[in-house]
Homo-oligomer: A and B are copies of this chain.
Amino acid sequence: MAALQKSIDKRNALINATIELVNNDGFHATPMSKIAKMACVSPATIYLYFENKQDLVNKTYIEVKANYTAYAFATYDETMPVEKGFKVIWKRIAEFKLKESADAMFLAQCDNTPMIDEASRQEGIKHLQPLLDLWARGKKEGVIKPVSDYMLYAYSINPLSFLMITQNRGSVKLDKEHLDQAYEAAWSSIKTCK
């Protein structure tokens, strides 16, 4: 039991080291030895938990993505009305991106880079299903614009990534007021105009 916990701790330490180092230096500029050192294990130990470097980063991506979506939908409930549901999800996503910025930066880098297997990318996307279901419901009810999910995502969710990166570079600090503006912009770009 204690042994199992130690294993889990090591795996987590490796995942976290990967996130931090890849954020700072990029995937290929991050040696396995550095990851090992930051996680306080031997380089060889990494290979007990992951097949190779690509597998390590793939698994890290999937794990972070899973955390992200779990957080996003934690307070959402499929019985909510569409607008309410969207607001709940959007706020959680914003919170995650701006508070768990290391995780969010890592995802942004993975999503704009050929560093992740296509298979792992697909795996990561699956978790977004509740949001797509919400949008489907919204379209049927005539509350959400009848456009493709990619378009909805591009205008209501993805801007948060840009704002998160900008904030992390120090160019701007996003307070509550900004977030409200952002939500307004997000919602107004996907709701049907009466």
Q: Give A residues with C-beta under 8 Å from B.
A: 23-29, 108-109, 111-115, 145, 147-148, 150-151, 153-155, 158-160, 162-163, 165-166, 171-172, 178, 181-182, 185-186, 188-190, 193
Given contacts A151-B178, A151-B185, A188-B189, contact A113 B26 (CB under 8 A): yes
Closest to A115 in B: B26
Tell whether A147 pairs with B114 under 8 Å between CB atoms, given A29-B28, A154-B159, A155-B189.
Answer: no
- Which of A109, A159, A193 has the most B CB atoms < 10 Å from its CB? A159
Contact B181 A147 (CB under 8 A): yes
Residue in A28, A111, A185 with the greatest tally of chain B CB atoms within 10 Å: A185
| Cβ-defined contact, A112 with B109, below 8 A | yes
Q: In the assembled complex, which residues on chain B have CB atoms less than 8 Å from the CB atom of A28?
A: 26-29
Q: Main SS of chain A's interface residues?
A: helix
Q: Cα distance A27–B190 when bound, in Å? A: 36
Which residues in B have their C-beta under 8 angstroms from that of A158?
158-159, 162
Question: Nearest residue in B to A121 (C-beta to C-beta)?
Answer: B169
In the assembled complex, the Cα of A189 lies from the Cα of B162 at a distance in Å of: 15
Distance of A162 from chain B, by nearest CB (Å):
4
Contacts of A109 in B (CB 8 A): 112-113
Nearest chain B CB to A106's CB is how many angstroms away? 11
B148 touches A172 (CB 8 A): yes
29 contacts between A and B (CB under 8 A): A26-B27, A26-B115, A28-B28, A29-B114, A108-B112, A109-B112, A109-B113, A111-B165, A112-B112, A112-B165, A113-B113, A145-B185, A147-B181, A148-B172, A148-B178, A151-B178, A153-B162, A154-B160, A154-B163, A155-B159, A155-B185, A155-B186, A155-B189, A158-B158, A158-B159, A186-B189, A188-B188, A188-B189, A189-B189
Separation of A100 and B189 alpha carbons in the complex (Å): 26
Q: Determine the distance from Cα of A178 to Cα of B29 in the docked complex, in whole angstroms.
A: 38
